[in-house]
Structure 1
Amino acid sequence: MSDRTAGRVRVAAPWVRTRLRSAPAAAAALALLVAVTAFLAAALPLAVDRYGDAGLRRSVETAGPGRTTIQLYASQDEAFMPLEEWQERLRPDAVRAPYAELLALPGRSLPLDSGQSSYGVRTTRRLAAPDPYLSRPDGIAPQFHLVAPGGLADHARLREGRLPKAPDDVTAATTAVEAAVTAQTARKLNIEAGSVLHLPGQERSPLTVRVTGVVEPRAPHEAYWSTTPVLRGPNLLTVPGDPQRSVFWAGALLLPPNAAPALLGAGGVPERYWTLVPEMSALHGHDLPRLTSAVASLEAGPLLQRARAAASPAVNAETSLDEVLAEHTELRSVIGPLVAVAAFGTGTVAAVVLLMAGGLAADRRRAELTLLRARGASLPGLAGRLLAETAVVAVPAAALGLAAARLAVDGGRAAYAVAAAGAVALLACVALPLRAVAAHRAVRVHAARDDLAAARPSRRRTVAELTLLTLAAGAVVALRTRGTPDGEGASGDGLVSLAPVLVGVIAALVLVRLYPLPLRGLARPAGRLRGVVGPLSLARAGRARGSAVLPLLALLTALTTAAFGGSVLTGVADARDRAAVLSVGADARIDGLQPLPSGLADRARRAPGVRDVTAVSVTHEGRPADGGPTVPVAGVDPAGYAALSRRTDIGAFDPDGLKASGAGVLPALASPEVADRHGGRPFPVRLDDGSRFTVRIVAVRERTPALAGLDFLVVDRSGLPAGPARPTALLVTGDRPDAGALREAAGGTAQVRLRTEQFARYADSPLQSGAERVYTVAVAAGAGYAVLALLLTLLRTAPERAALLARLRTMGLTRAQGRRLLVLESLPQALLAAAGGTVTAWAAIRLLSPGIDLTTVAVSTSSSPAGRAALRTDPVSLLVPALTVGALTVGIAAAQAWWTGRRGSVRELRAGDAR
């Protein structure tokens, strides 16, 4: 061979470029599939991180700075120190010195907000100010905390006067200092710039405090002011042990830091404090274990020891942040496994679809790969070339999907998204080479038939299937035995997430083995039928490929995930709606602290969407004369209230048994607890206004619309004295009553609550709403992949079906017969998938229901007015996906028959067109 000829050989078009140019449509379809799958796979961990972060931050914000701020304080070590050393420790430099080190203690484990964290000196006891001009609600002198905070000028605006000052030589003997107060404190306690307060001293003359300025907090609800709310404004407190429940004001006087030593001369027992505020924007849900550990360490662990070494040996810590984190962890631990069920199910279906796409490509190129093997191509060389041509398409597509996911979902850990997209790319790259290697490991020209009805699986396949079946069944049994009715055990186990996949594996293996049996049984009787379409379609169904485990597994898993997800979402919505109904008592409720105006019921009845209005009178403290616990009492109209109870399905009863008879004893409807205490004997009840009446319990119900709680009595309102009989609440029923119209009718004299608003309030947590959105998207994506799996299954046989119809049309088969043939041929497998999917979904729901409690997902707490919300099968979620599979199969087969009938080659080949 000449050099010139050799050069031509070396510059021949490479394999990858040639294959991509020869089948651009297949490459584009693979790129689209990989890009969409990579986008969904990468977006899932990002979305989970996003709603987890939002949920944690909402939990911390809702708890408030009073519970989430970590307060370090030191006072006991100085109690027996010389007065001079005690004074030096209270000076600004001594208090500020350990502050920076304390802020840095938790490090990245617990990010702290230096802008809201603070330090200073405060008294631990309130000091009464006897000055007569101060506000005294019940004639009791107000009491004050003396606080010398650092950074007051940075967190407050001056509204009046000037900020307080103090010389550097203030000592415990100082008897006069300056202070500032907040605008709320000044307004409510009648203080202004220039006011002078006198606070009792400790073994010395009173401490004179001159108010030099009134300040307005820049961010009154932030931690600097809200950790100790008395800094922001005064509180009304009740005198302890006072039978008259007299109240007094408790406020704070803000001293300059240099004045802190003067607190030693007052009787307030001063202490140094440092407040450490978590940085909201730096809190992440996936860091919960590290956050919990850091808080525990600060409360009683190594970090507290380091804080004592930095500030004082007697530093103590106080916070409720650990309780807030525990509550959030409980909510997350319940929601997480439910979301993982949809993620694992959808991920399995997506993986199967990618494998099916590789199998379809291998089948399409069967002749080409067989020829290459016959000409001496090695398996490693063939697999390497197929891997290269697939990677050229799949890797950029996966990168594009990853980039789209990062743009669509802000935040989250990028490493998990990259790993998910990389797994999709890897699976897409190896699907075709592995399928080709498996199909062409032996060099042959003709492949044996692989009919589903006639095939006899090899021993190797039987052993593999039995092994997989045993593992899946063992995992399901382990899951079933671990699950408990209260949700402990199963809810935190990874088997919960895999349950639909495991059940789908079992069902797919069993159904593929059982499916040929009815086909073989029907083959002989069908041969005696007169028509040609029935026997031919049955024979064609039996000629289907025997390797149907993957498509069936995809369909079963998708149907199971869709049905399970639909049941979860329906169960959550039902539990939430039921809790809202029980909380409100009707579709809407109007409550007043005092008896409602006489015309309010008529105005409410005229509001849009209102069907009926039921008036009730509620007294929350009915006192039985036998000395038992107080019982809420509701006076109702028996007929209207009974109708309301039936409509809301809350404690329905017979109204005739509750009507007052005029005999002096009122029939009563009671809760089980009240009925157990009083039995069926008459007993008198005294109300708040002193009126009395006698009741006898005639019916017992767990709940009633007018009153929520374990104890209640319901009586005929006409039998009550005139005062207690006046309505205090209106229970409104109707089709979405207009909230604005009801509030306008109430005119500000009563509180209006709607069931729809309560429903929305239950779903307000970002952790709940985010999980529900992820769940919905995952179920929808799983359904889409199921449809794609169905299409790929039909595409594998589409060329063969088209050729069959073309040949049969030349023998006189009509278009209508062709459509029936393809539809009847595809029905057995469609019915197998639909029926199997329904049974598999039902089995998965029955398997998981004892270990899943939807209460926390529905109402954000572990307890609900409606009780435990268990997972139940939803008929719509079970049947709709299965029917959809059947309808799609029939529709695709009919469309293929119609399209094949329109092709010109068929028109040229057909012998006639009998219609």
Structure 2
Amino acid sequence: MRILTLMREHAGAAAVLAVLTLSACLLISGTPRALQSAYDHGLRQTLAATTAQDRDLRVLARNATPVRTRAELAAKERAFRALLPSELAALATTGGTSHFSVRTVDTPAFDRPKQYVNVGWLSDFDRRLTWVEGREPGAPSTFAARGIGTIPLLEVGVPEGATTTMNLPVGSIVVIGQSEQIAVRVSGVYRPRNPADPYWDHERDTITVEERLPPGQLEPDRYVTSLTGDEGIELLGYGARRTVYSWVLGVDPGRADALDLPSTLGAIKDYNGAVALEADDNAANSVATGLPRLLTSYAESLATAQTVMFLVLGGLLAVALGVIVLAVQLMAERMAAALALMRARGGALGQVAGAGTAVVAIATVPAAAAGYLLSWLVPGPVTPMVHVGPLIVLGVATGFAAIRLTLAHRAPLHERRDDVAAARPSPRRITLELTTVALALAGAYLVRSRGVSTSAATLGADPFLLLVPVALAVAAALITLRCYPFPLRALVRLAARRRAAVPFLGLTMAARSKSFTVLPVLILLPALAVSVFASIVSGGVSSTQELAAWQRVGADIRVEHAVAITPEAVARVRNVPGVEAVLTAMTGDAVVGRTPVEVVSIDLAAYRELVAGGPLDVPAPPGGPGIPALASPLLGREPLSVRWQVAMRVDPRGSVTGFPGLQTQRNLIVLPADANERVGAPTRPNVLLVRGSADPAAVREAASTQGGLPPVVRSRAQTLAAIKGSPLTGAVLDTLMIVTAALAVYCLVAVVLALVITAPARAGALSFLRTLGLSPRQARRLTVLEISPLILFTALAGLALGLGLPVALGPGMDLSAYTGDLAVSGHGPLSGGALLTPVLLAAGLTAVSVLGAYAHTAIGRGRGLGSVLRVGDQ
């Protein structure tokens, strides 16, 4: 067998097959690495964006035997590090935020009402602080307190804010504790060298004064944690006060690996148990960390991302393999005459099929190897799919070639006329196709009715969720292939009544297309369906992100303060450039009976005007005598006695389940803005809702009060940017866009290959018709009419399937991880941008079909009619 001769004679088709194989292998091997790299980057970015207090491991010891020296604390730190499982040891660092500390908790000042002065010690405060006044604390001594007697005296330093807000200048002495008191003397005032250092997430109470407003009171309690030196460690455990020892083991986000999420979660649980066993008698050791919550949340988001990526990349892979099969079909068509001659001259079936398969292998094996090697240029960890992918591509290409050539040449000079009459499908095939369609519909119904049956965070995606889209695509392809001849025949009958011959001939040729036109349908339909699916998902995510930003903030800008906002501050905010309107409100914690509730006091009518034009659905204000209110359904409809800033009795006149700007899971009561005034109490707003494009920093400065804590300012634009900028959101949306573009390219390649495969038969038919008087212009129209119906029906079926997939898979696709924890109730409007991509794709396919038809007509016109007729007479 002259295999190399066949290869040389059909070098063009072999080159096309090689390029497609290389791209498919690069795609199937490189994409998993890129996605896994994105998953790892997303995890590291998620951990880096959180506070160190949430991320780090903090071992806490309560009721422990008092520790006397720094050396004892350091020894315990080494012991706790030795207990780390290997998964956590790989994440933990010895620098950064790692340190250990001692502090008292909720220690009241003996003769200072509403003040709490805790005392703490930090292992590295000497290199974290700058002393701006006085000196570092010295050795303890004694103090003769009036009415108490001689008690221990600790020298401490305090943060800058404590000197004014709590009246703790250098030299002041305060007695602290309710029993077995000690005295503290302020020896110096400090400030952090780098207030933005994540280290201070653990020790925020040592550099700020905290204000807490108890329910029912107008003045806040003030807390500060002062710092003493090494000599004062022993006195921190003095008496019956609450003392907490802590060892912070810093976690390096750059070492996190998404593949190790399950084992890391298990390691944290094991470490907590090991630390608890190390506790002293009557002591309680625990690990305080938000790492399990962070990792579990990311695992759930990752499972959703992997499910969506599986759907779109699985469709892309199927389309890529389909295009390769189409290219193999082109090779088989090109080699058909030579292989048939070999078979007629006595060649065995195995020799003939083997020769053709060898030609396909020569074209695909080097290309697959090149694609596999190029995939190693893609950064990211190696997954099993990186190695298995090229083998799948080679198996599909060579396997299809072997089967196709074996069936085509099983008998010498076996010829068929598929263009004259289509073979009637067997009852077995019809039954199989009906069963496939029924199973696909049943699977879609089950996904809709039962939702997801497994936990995405632990067991991964539901197999039903992964298999149903494939079954629906196959079912849609089968229905399209079986049904499209019926409207086509109706069009043929209409065309037969007209005098023009071109429409009748073109539609008749489309109805009598060869059986291998099944391949373009199996390629174009899932490609269009996945493209539509991706565009609808992207549109739904984007619109829900907008709504989530509105619900989180409640306005363009939201200002919240721990204490009342003065009228002067409100006036300053109104004068900030860009502010169009300002609305005051009050929020806080209250109690109804024994049930804790969240209370909002606001003018709902004014609020509806403030957010008009946005997506928020603000309830109408309730009317009626007394204090009308909106209340959570669980609170009932009977009058409620609410203990808030003052006691009041309210009448529920409607229900409410949530309110913009409040992220609470508790019961909710919405009161009128003047509810306090109706019971004789002053209105003290602590929230400002701002409409306009003002600078949030300028609003914060205007709302701040001298000597107090700065207000919390949230901007809707910044919140939306944070939601869209979350690690996995960008990866998912970018992948959807890239897949849509890749599918468009594969669709165009599939159309071109289909045109090339059918070119010889089309050229022959047109040559015969030209001898009967067919003009070149009519030939071009005829070719367009032959090609367009199948593409048109396939595009409509792919569009319908793409629109139906989000509806069918809705309960199984929890995309809230990419929308600020807000469920995607819809998938974008079915107009405008949501359908722009599939419309452009269908238009592109139509344009390529027309251009291909013109090109092939031009090629056929350049050939002599005599040569075509002699070829057809063989």
Distance 1:556 1:889, change over 3 A: same
Deviation at 1:430, TM superposition (A): 4.0
Residue 869 of structure 1 aligns with an amino acid whose one-letter code is S
Task: Give the alignment partner of residue 247 of structure 1, picking from 194, 205, 221.
Answer: 221
| 1:233 maps onto 2:207 in alignment | yes
Matched residue, 1:789: 750
Question: How many Å apart are 1:823 and its aligned residue?
Answer: 1.8
Find the aligned partners of 2:843 and 2:228 in 1 and give their Cα distance: 75
The alpha carbon displacement at 1:113 in A equals 1.7
Paired residue for 1:515?
Answer: 484
- Contact between 2:558 and 2:714, CA under 8 Å: does it hold in 1? yes
**Cα deviation, residue 811, structure 1:** 3.5
Q: Alignment partner for residue 72 of structure 2, among 56, 81, 91?
A: 91
> 1:202 touches 1:265 (CA, 8 Å); kept in 2?
no
Contact 1:533/1:820, CA 8 A, preserved across alignment: yes
Q: Which residue of 1 aligns with 2:251?
A: 278
How far is 1:559 from its partner? 1.9
In the TM superposition, residue 294 of structure 1 has moved relative to its aligned partner by: 0.5
Shift in alpha-carbon separation, 1:241–1:33, aligned structure 2, 3 A: closer
The offset of 1:500, in angstroms, is 2.6
Give the corresponding residue for 1:144: 119
Which of 602, 615, 618 is the equivalent residue of 2:585? 618
Distance 2:229 2:751 in 1: 76
The change in CA–CA distance for 1:567 and 1:726 in structure 2 (over 3 A counts) is same
- Corresponding residue number in structure 1 for 2:418: 450
Number of residue pairs matched by the alignment: 837
Deviation, structure 1 residue 570: 1.3
Trace 1:720-869 onto structure 2 (pairs within 5 A): 732=691, 738-740=693-695, 748-749=702-703, 755-859=716-820, 861=821, 864=822, 869=825
Paired residues of 1:669 and 1:701 also in contact (CA < 8 A) = no
Using the size of structure 2 for normalisation, the TM-score is 0.78
- Displacement of 1:389: 4.4
Where in structure 2 are there 5+ consecutive unaligned residues?
141-150, 705-711, 867-874
Code of the residue aligned with 1:444 in structure 2: it is P
Pairwise CA distance, 1:561: 1.3
**Equivalences for residues 185-200 of structure 1 within 5 A:** none
For 2:406, the equivalent position in structure 1 comes to 437
- State how 1:108-507 maps to structure 2 within 5 Å: 111-116=91-96, 118=98, 120=100, 122=102, 140=115, 142-147=117-122, 149=123, 221-223=197-199, 225-230=200-205, 233-236=207-210, 247-253=221-227, 255-256=229-230, 273-300=246-273, 303-304=274-275, 308=278, 316-320=285-289, 321-382=291-352, 385-386=355-356, 388-402=358-372, 404-408=374-378, 410-440=379-409, 442-451=410-419, 454-458=422-426, 461-462=429-430, 465=433, 468-469=436-437, 472=440, 475-483=443-451, 492-507=461-476
Letter in 2 for 1:567: I
Structure 1 unaligned spans of 5+: 1-13, 80-85, 168-174, 659-664, 911-915
CA pair 675-177 structure 1, distance change in 2 beyond 3 A: closer
Displacement of 1:183: 6.8
Corresponding residue for residue 870 of structure 2: none
The verdict on how the C-alpha distance between 1:50 and 1:199 changes in structure 2, with shifts beyond 3 A counting, is farther
What is the match of residue 712 of structure 1?
A: 670
The letter for the 1-side match of 2:613 is R
Map of 1:555 onto structure 2: 524
Q: Alignment partner of 1:143: what SS? A: strand
Question: CA–CA distance in 2 between the matches of 1:625 and 1:118?
Answer: 44
| SS of equivalent residue, structure 2 residue 119 | strand
1:297 Cα deviation from its structure 2 partner = 1.0
Amino acid at match of 1:357: A
User: Aligned partners of 1:643, 1:191: CA distance in 2, in Å?
Assistant: 47
Q: Secondary structure at the match of 2:515?
A: coil
What TM-score, normalized by structure 1, do the two folds share?
A: 0.74
Deviation of the 1:166 alpha carbon: 9.7
Q: CA deviation at 1:203?
A: 12
Partner of 1:831, secondary structure, is helix
* 2:108–2:115 Cα contact (<8 Å) kept: no
| 1:337–1:494 CA contact under 8 A, matched in 2 | no
**Residue number in structure 2 paired with 1:874:** 830
Per-residue deviation at 1:670?
Answer: 5.8
Aligned letter for 1:51?
A
SS in 2 for 1:828: helix
Verify the 8 A CA contact 2:14 2:331 in the aligned structure 1.
Answer: no
For residue 8 of structure 1, what is the aligned residue in structure 2?
none
CA distance in 2, matches of 1:855, 1:94: 45
Mapped to 2, the partners of 1:569 and 1:32 lie a distance apart of: 31
Q: Which moved more, 1:421-430 or 1:321-330?
A: 421-430
Q: 1:145 is aligned with what amino acid?
A: G
1:892 to 820, 842, 848: 848
CA distance in 2, matches of 1:439, 1:616: 79
Q: Counterpart amino acid of 2:524?
A: L
Task: Name whichever of 411-420 and 573-582 sits farther off.
Answer: 411-420
2:147 corresponding residue in structure 1: none
Q: For the residues of structure 2 that align with 1:179 and 1:386, how far apart are their CA atoms?
A: 92
Tell me the alpha carbon deviations over residues 369-393 of structure 1, each in whole angstroms, 9 at most, x when there is no partner: 2223334444555555555544454
- C-alpha distance in structure 2 between counterparts of 1:642 and 1:400, whole Å: 62
Q: Given the alignment of the two structures, is residue 648 of structure 1 paired with residue 614 of structure 2, yes or no? A: yes
The change in CA–CA distance for 1:880 and 1:373 in structure 2 (over 3 A counts) is farther
Report the CA distance shift for 1:432/1:254 in structure 2 as closer, same or farther (over 3 A).
Answer: farther
1:278-297 Cα deviation digits (max 9, x unpaired): 33111122221111111111
Shift of 1:794: 2.4
Equivalent-residue separation in structure 2 for 1:601 and 1:507 (angstroms): 59
* 1:539 partner amino acid: T
Contact 2:62 2:285 in 1 (8 A): no
Question: Residues 558 and 687 of structure 2 are in contact (CA less than 8 Å); yes or no, is this contact kept in structure 1?
Answer: no
CA distance in 2, matches of 1:675, 1:47: 48
Q: Does 1:30 find its partner at 2:17?
A: yes
Moved more, 752-761 or 210-219: 210-219
Counterpart contact for 1:526–1:535, Cα < 8 Å:
yes
Which of 544, 552, 574 aligns to 1:575? It is: 544
Assess if the C-alpha contact under 8 Å between 1:342 and 1:778 holds in 2.
yes
Offset of 1:429 from its aligned partner?
Answer: 4.7
The residue aligned with 1:662 is none
Q: Does 1:45 align with 2:21?
A: no
Deviation of residue 796 (structure 1)? 1.7
Conservation of the 8 A alpha-carbon contact between 2:160 and 2:189:
no
Question: Are the counterparts in 2 of residues 823 and 893 from structure 1 also a CA contact under 8 Å?
Answer: yes
Quote how far apart the aligned CAs of 1:242 are.
Answer: 10
Q: How far apart, in 2, do the equivalents of 1:528 and 1:516 lie?
A: 19
SS at match of 1:712: strand
Using the aligned pairs only, state the percent identity: 25
Letter of the structure 1 residue corresponding to residue 248 of structure 2 = T
**Inter-CA distance 587–749: structure 2 relative to 1 (3 Å threshold):** closer
User: SS state of the match for residue 613, structure 2?
Assistant: helix
Whole-angstrom CA distance in 1 between matches of 2:185 and 2:568: 49
CA contact (8 A) 1:182 1:216 kept: no
Could you tell me how far 1:481 is from its partner in structure 2? 4.4
Shift of 1:316: 2.6
Deviations 1:567-608 (A, max 9, x none): 21111112222233344555667889344789889977x95x
- Secondary structure of the corresponding residue to residue 702 of structure 2: coil
